[in-house]
Structures are given as structure tokens and as C-alpha cells.
Structure 1
Amino acid sequence: MDAKLPPGPPLPKPVQAVLLARYWPHFIATCRRRYGKVFTLRMSMVPPMVYLADPADIKEVFAGDPGIFHAGEANSMLKGLLGDSSVLVVDDEVHADRRRLMLAPFKRNAVARQTTTMAEIAAANIATWPVGRDFPVAPRMSQITLEVILRTVIGASDPDRLAALRDVMPRLLRLGPFASLAIASPNLQRRLPWQPIRKRIEEADRLLFAEIADRRSDPGLAERTDVLAMLVRAADDDGRTMTDRELRDQLMTLLVAGHDTTATGLSWALERLTRHPAILDKAVRGAEASAAGDPAGDEYLDAVAKEALRIRPVVFDVGRVLTKPVDLAGYHLPAGVMVVPGIGLVHASAEQYPEPEMFDPDRMVGATLSPTTWLPFGGGNRRCLGATFAMVEMRVVLREILRRVELDTTTAPAERQRVRHVILEPHRGARIRVRAMRDVPVAAGVGKPACPADTA
């Protein structure tokens, strides 16, 4: 084993940090071409990052000892927003216990109970879309997925509190790079330039704690199906339930991780469909079949979502900080290094996907996807708890859109991937044009989610 770290760009650390923040996919893809399937980036304020593009190496990380491969430590810069007990920022037994408490609301049957609400929310939003002119659909997707979270996850029903959450959460989640410094370094929130961030977090906390208090005092708690109610009821083997603060941190995590990411995935799906007329026509037929209860329609809509997440991954990579030295990818990596499975690198590999630059949902129909070759939700014991929820939501929202509007296709160039925090969004907001509206009823029910095996 080579005791040295893998090769990587010799650029100064601040330059590499800027390139990653500004040109994330392009910079990483360039390094992959120049240095191979394993390479090292070095940036200020973070440990050396060893990128992995070989599914065999990624499998070792995902199957490795969680006590050695620390994902929570890699996500620690999110504590300023998510809180110290978020399932995303804790490790070891604390993470395992927290994840067990959170499993029930994201099981397949629990998600299926929410699909009618998802469809109603989507239909109401679609009815307000303009006809005959271009508009960015990403903000509309964000409205839909936020409303889904507020009503199915948090279970908010008080009109005033719902309105307040609709107002504060987008302002909290769409922070610019300067404002985001106060998330990575929470002490900055006490200083004048960043105090508005602190006030937004405090306002969101006030609303979330009010919802928690309502749920605890609800005499019908046992019958409620919203995620918050299920989390309030959840207890570990010793009978311990989550504290209000722990509940708040999980709700904030679900709002941040489950709202913006799904909205962005939906935006990319529409951006891709409107540039591929034959695929769009097939997706419309799939939506109509899905609404009629035909499982083949569900399968094709799932394939569209999977292929969109492959060709335009919302999150380009995931990290694990090593707590002990590890032999990996032909190197002896010391403790303290961050190993980074490259989601976008694997998804763009011709070894895994012939003609990877081609948007082709048919490649996903009936495919058995490996957790190390299709990994938009990460993997191992840290695979996204809400993966099933997100895939079902994407199917339901796509179904309602494709049934309710006639979309124009376009020959405009593909929208670029723009870096915003830790996600990659369409740089023009996924602009679309609605030719006409259709008057159709809300489709009730949904088949079982056709996503890979999920621990949730």
C-alpha cells in the first residue's frame, strides 16, 4: 500500500475551494479525467478529501464500520441550522438509535397513506400556472414540496402557523454564500451582518416547537398519520422518546433535506422531458396509465425520476471522515481524511451506463439497480431515510403535472448545473411553457414505490 494520499491538483487550497464551490461537477469531472478513479482535493478549513469513482471502492465505504466511516462528522457544518441532534450530524450509537426511532414514518405503507394529499397539493399549485409563456418551474416545485412537508410530515393545519412556515422556510433555505457562513460557523449569527439569519432560525424554531406542543397535547395523537405524530409516539427499547429539542432537529432536517432536494429533482425531470419530445409523450401516456391504476404507468414515471436523478444528481457526492487508518483504493489512508464517494462520477460513467450523457428512462425500466452504481440518496447505514418518500412524491407530482398540462418542447440548450449550498439546480430555474390546461380529477392512490431496497 502507498502511504501517500492519491494524487490531485497542485493548486493552492483557497483556489481549490473556490473551484469546488463555483464549478463543482466540472471541477470534479476534470480531476477524474486527469487523475483517475481516486484523487485528492485539499481545501482550507476541511480535511483532505479523497474522491472515489470506482463502485467497488464505494461499496467498501458504504459497507464499512460506521464507527470508522463518520458521515455525521462530515456533515458537521450543517449543525448551525439542523441542530446538534439531527440524524444527519450524529454518528455511532447515537445515530443508530435516532435512525431506529425515525424509521416507521418512512416505511412503504406509511408513505402510501400520504399520496392523496400529495396529489391534491400538486393539483392546486398546477392550477395557478401561467399558460402560453415561459416561466421557471423550480419555484413552483419548491412550493409543492414544501407544502407536502408541512402537511404530511409536520402535520401543520393551523392556517396562521401554516402561512408563517410558508413564509419563513424559503427565506431560511435559500441563503446566499455569504449568509451560509453563519450556518457553518454558528457563532457568526451573533454578529450584525448575520443576525437576520439567527432571527429566521428563531422564528422557524418558534413555529416548530408550537407544532410539537400541539401534537403532544392532541387527544387523537394515536390516530394521526403525520410524521411528527409518529415521531412523538416513537420509543426505543428502553421506552425513551425524543425530547422537544430532538424532535425540532429532526423536523428541521426533514424540511431542509426533504424539501429542496425533491423540488430540484422534479425541476430537472421537467427540464429533461421538455427537451425530449418522444420521451415526454411516453411519460404523458405513463401518467394517464398510472392514474388509471396501471402499474406499468407507475413504473415508467419511476423510470423518468430515476434517470433524471442519475443524469442530473441533486447532490454530487457524500462524505465520510475516517476515525482510524483504512486501506482503500490501493492507498493507506490516515485517520482524519474524508473519503468522498462521487455520486455524479459514477452516474456519468460509461462503464456503468452506456452513452451516459443520453437521457433515457427506458434504461431504468425493469432494471435491478446496484446501491453503488445508482446512489442519488447515498448509501450504507446513512442512505437517506426519506428515499422512498421522495421517489413516491416525484412520481405523484409528475403524474399530476403530465395529466393536467400540455407542455411545449424546446430546442433550447440544456440548463447548466448551478451550485447552491450542497445541491445542483438548473441555472435558469428549469424554464417551461404550458400550451394548455386539462381539467382532470385528482388521481387517488398509488402503487408500491419501485425504488431499490430501502432500510426505511
Structure 2
Amino acid sequence: MKLPPKPRTPSWLLYLQFEANPFAYMDAIFKRYGDIVMITLGSTPIVYVSNPLGNKQIFTNTKEITASGKLNQDFALFTGNQGVLQLDGLIHKNRRKLLMQAFHGTRMQACGQSICELTEKIMNQQMVGKPFVAYPIIEEITLPIGIEVVLGLREGELYNKIKHLFVSMFKFEQSKLFQFISKLPLGNQDLGRWSPQGYMLDLREKIFELLYSEVKERRRVADSSRTDMLSDLIFAHDETGEPLSNEEVRDLLLSPIFAAQDASATAISWSLYWIHRLPAIHKRLLEEIDSLGENPDPMSIIALPYLSAVCNEALRIYPTQLFAFPRLVESPVEVMGYELHPGTVLISNIYSTHQREDLYPEPKEFKPERFLEKQFSPYEFLPFGGGSRVCIGGSFALFEMKLVLATIISRYQLELVSKRPERPKFGGLLCSPASGVKMILHGRRKHQEQSKLSVFSSV
């Protein structure tokens, strides 16, 4: 039995190549070494897989390959030490089940109209004829929705404080200053609030304090009629039958809010870019949405086949996360005919899987119809990862994505500011549009304006 192919290039140079252009780097690695490659980082062998069979082996073999929470400790800064990413085994399974209640079908339906109304409210604030960047505007929609689903808050002082802190933390983490300094040898040192790392930790502490205080207060005035994630966790019991501690509840709330804020905004922004870059796709999508009438039911919108195909293709060509969460080889195992030893880290390469020409002919082209012509397996199309670490909010993210897009496309006339292709930017985990997608609003669609006039004239 042999080991997977391994580049001769030093790992530090490979890292620099990845940092410079992760997409060209991964395309080149795939072209030269195929769909499994090993890279040694220090003394740890890391194996990247971009083959459906290999993905299936990684996600389904839970005996020799584990989804170890210790591999996700880097995310603890944002998720706390007891977040769902850091948990293992029965504890992880129990907490995932508890969190999934918030994404139950009936609850999703209940907030569908709110998503459409909030989208229209935010879009109506944009000035006609003035360019705007779509990404932060979409965040003004996705973050409040996330806070409502997770905490059950729509307005008020606490809502405003939490929203402000999450926005501040995300913007600073994505800033060029923080990105540059964090890569320096001492860039992650906490030198007080005025240092980049110190400022980030200060924001984190304030978020943790606010959420912890809210957990305590909600437990004190427990209301079993509420249907948000926080309420579910307050009344929940762990795998031994004991209530969750306030610290556990707080940590479990963090990942869903962050995911709602940036991952969803990234996917929607990419979709807006592709839809408005390709007129034929825009026309076909608009015709499908218009076929539902003036004020369609949200559940009718999410069932639209071409809208679903557009969303899937946006998640395929530039998935919001390029890699699935890592796995750890615990005992000798064979993957794709190669022998892997204990201590090896296994990572499913989502981006390269989605770029396979045998699965997706002309993979660099945006072609939604491929999702109408074929149903892909969860090992061929995996925008939210797979196995026990698959994103708990994946279904809700698609639900939200469709409603936001349908509302914007059907009600507003938008245009991309630049004809130049939008470049992808990789930052930590997410693959976002480099410019944020610059657009200009030309106004509401004519039939929307006419319907508004008829309403006013009848008052």
C-alpha cells in the first residue's frame, strides 16, 4: 500500500502560493497530482481529497476516521470552547440535535414573510442612481434574521448592542490591517485594547458578556412558548439528562449567528453578481418568479426549480467555504487505495470537487441548468460540508437565500457597476467577492410601482 502523492515544494512556499491565489493554486495542484494529495505541515501529514468516492469514505467511516473537535480549536475565538465545532462524540451529537430544532420546517415557514419584508425594507433605503456595495447591504438582512432565529430578538437595546458588536467584530476581522498583522510572527499577541488582537478579544468579551447575561435572564423568566434557539437550549437536557449550563448555552449560540451573518451574505452576494452579469439567466429567473403573481407565498418561492438551480450553481462555482471541517485518522485506514496512518488529517476539498470536469463540464462557467439536468450526490455537491460536521443551518441558508434573491430580483432594477469579472477572495474560511459586488439601483420595477399607486389611490 502506498501513500498519496506529495509535492516536493517546501510547505512554507506552498502556503505562500495558496495565500497569493488559493484558486489558481488548487487548480494547479489538482491538475498535477489528481484528486488526492498529501502536504506535510510541520510533522503533521494533511491529505486533501476532491473525489466523490474519497469524500464518501471520509464522511461515512466514523470508526477509523473521526470528526475531532480539537481540530477546530482555532475557531474557539469566535465560538467559545463549548461551541458545536469543538465538541465530540455523544455530546456533539446531542448538541447538534438541540440546535437543529430551530431550523424545523414549520419555524422556517413562519419567518419566511419576515425575510421578504426585511429585504424590501433594506433595499428601499438605497438611493436610486447611487452605487452601493451589495455585500454589507445583504448583511443588513442576514444578520438580523440570524439574531431573530437564534435569540428571538427583532428590536430593542439588547438587539442593537448585539448587532453592533457582531458587525464590528466581523468588519475588523476582515479588514486588511487585521489580515496583514495576524500573519506576522507576533501578530496574534494581545498587547492591550489598542493592539489588533487585543481589540478583537475585547469585542469577543463584550459579545460573550451580553449573551451570557441574556441566557441568565431568559432562564430566570423562562417562557416555554418561545420558539427561538436560545429558548430551546434553556429547556433542553444533555446526554445525561441534566440541564445545560449557562456557559454551554452561550457558546452554542455563537456559531449560528456568525454563520447567518457572513456565510449567507456571501452566498447571496455571489448570486446577485452572476444573475446580473448574465442577462439570459436574469431574464429566465425573473419570468419564473413573476409567474407566481404579485405577492407570492414564501413556500411557493422556495419551490421554484430554476431559482433553486441558480442558488446551487452559485454555491458550486464559489462555495462559501472551500473545505469541509477536518477529520483525524485514529487507526490505519485505506482511502482511495492509499494507506493513511494515525495522526493524519483528512480534509475534503469542496472547491476542487465542484471544479471536476467529469462532474461539471465547463466548470468555470455559470450554468444553473446543470442542476435541472442531473441530481448530484452529497459527495459530489457539498457546499455545506458533509457527515457529522455538515452545517446545521444549510437548509435554512438555502431557504433564506431564495427568498432574499426573489424579493430583490422581482422588485428592483439593478445593474453591476463594473463589467470586469468579480474576483473571489479567501479569508480564513469563507470565499467572498473581493469587491463586495458593486451595484447601482435604477429604481423599482414598473409593475411594482403601478401596484403601489393603485393601493394609494384606493385609500
Could you tell me the TM-score, scaled by structure 1's length?
0.89
CA distance in 1, matches of 2:35, 2:350: 12
CA distance in 2, matches of 1:432, 1:411: 8
- SS of the equivalent of 1:247 reads helix
Displacement of 1:348: 1.0
| The 10-residue stretch of structure 1 (371-380 or 328-337) with the greater mean CA deviation from structure 2 | 328-337
Amino acid at match of 2:30: R
Deviation string 1:75-122 (CA, Å, 9 cap, x unpaired) is 221112211111112222221122122221122222222212222221
CA distance in 2, matches of 1:119, 1:404: 11
- SS of the equivalent of 1:313 reads coil
- SS of the equivalent of 2:369 reads helix
Residues 73-92 of structure 1 aligned to structure 2 (within 5 Å): 73-92=70-89
Other-structure match for 1:331:
338
Displacement of 1:287: 2.8
Other-structure match for 1:230:
232
Other-structure match for 1:447:
none
- SS of the equivalent of 1:357 reads coil
Other-structure match for 1:68:
65
Deviation string 1:325-381 (CA, Å, 9 cap, x unpaired) is 221122211111111111111111111112222212222237433100110000112
Other-structure match for 1:451:
none
- SS of the equivalent of 2:218 reads helix
Residues 4-403 of structure 1 aligned to structure 2 (within 5 Å): 4=3, 6-44=4-42, 47-65=44-62, 68-157=65-154, 159-174=156-171, 175=173, 176-178=178-180, 188-189=189-190, 193=195, 194-219=197-222, 221-236=223-238, 238-290=240-292, 291-293=295-297, 294=300, 298-318=304-324, 319-365=326-372, 367-403=374-410
Other-structure match for 1:454:
none
* Distance of aligned partners of 1:186 and 1:236 in 2 relative to their CA distance in 1, 3 Å threshold: farther
- SS of the equivalent of 2:248 reads helix
CA distance in 1, matches of 2:430, 2:302: 31
CA distance in 1, matches of 2:301, 2:320: 27
Other-structure match for 1:446:
none
* Distance of aligned partners of 1:323 and 1:237 in 2 relative to their CA distance in 1, 3 Å threshold: closer
- Superposition CA RMSD, Å: 2.6
- SS of the equivalent of 1:274 reads helix
Displacement of 1:296: 8.3
Contact map agreement 1:216 1:232 (CA 8 A) in 2: yes
CA distance in 2, matches of 1:118, 1:189: 39
The percentage of counterpart residues that share the same residue type is: 27
Deviation string 1:277-303 (CA, Å, 9 cap, x unpaired) is 011112222333454345686332222
* Distance of aligned partners of 1:66 and 1:199 in 2 relative to their CA distance in 1, 3 Å threshold: farther
- SS of the equivalent of 1:103 reads helix
Structure with bigger gyration radius: 2
1:429 aligns with 2:436: yes
- SS of the equivalent of 1:332 reads strand
CA distance in 2, matches of 1:245, 1:155: 19
Amino acid at match of 2:231: A
2:421 to 414, 426, 432: 414
CA distance in 1, matches of 2:386, 2:279: 33
CA distance in 2, matches of 1:191, 1:334: 42
* Distance of aligned partners of 1:332 and 1:393 in 2 relative to their CA distance in 1, 3 Å threshold: same
Contact map agreement 1:289 1:296 (CA 8 A) in 2: no
Amino acid at match of 1:292: P
Deviation string 1:220-249 (CA, Å, 9 cap, x unpaired) is x21112222122222346432322111111
Contact map agreement 1:288 1:297 (CA 8 A) in 2: no
CA distance in 2, matches of 1:336, 1:280: 48
Displacement of 1:417: 0.9
Contact map agreement 1:347 1:373 (CA 8 A) in 2: yes
Amino acid at match of 1:164: K
Contact map agreement 2:301 2:402 (CA 8 A) in 1: no
CA distance in 2, matches of 1:279, 1:113: 30
Could you tell me the TM-score, scaled by structure 2's length?
0.88
- Which ranges of structure 1 fall in alignment gaps of 5 or more residues? 443-456
CA distance in 2, matches of 1:95, 1:288: 43
Amino acid at match of 2:296: A
* Distance of aligned partners of 1:22 and 1:229 in 2 relative to their CA distance in 1, 3 Å threshold: farther
CA distance in 1, matches of 2:387, 2:210: 33
Contact map agreement 2:271 2:311 (CA 8 A) in 1: yes
| The 10-residue stretch of structure 1 (31-40 or 290-299) with the greater mean CA deviation from structure 2 | 290-299
Contact map agreement 2:84 2:95 (CA 8 A) in 1: yes
Amino acid at match of 1:263: A
- Which ranges of structure 2 fall in alignment gaps of 5 or more residues? 453-459
* Distance of aligned partners of 1:60 and 1:211 in 2 relative to their CA distance in 1, 3 Å threshold: same
Other-structure match for 1:450:
none
* Distance of aligned partners of 1:178 and 1:213 in 2 relative to their CA distance in 1, 3 Å threshold: farther
- SS of the equivalent of 2:313 reads helix
Contact map agreement 1:70 1:322 (CA 8 A) in 2: no
Deviation string 1:110-161 (CA, Å, 9 cap, x unpaired) is 2222212222221111111232243210111112111111122211245211
| The 10-residue stretch of structure 1 (28-37 or 103-112) with the greater mean CA deviation from structure 2 | 103-112
Contact map agreement 1:320 1:338 (CA 8 A) in 2: yes
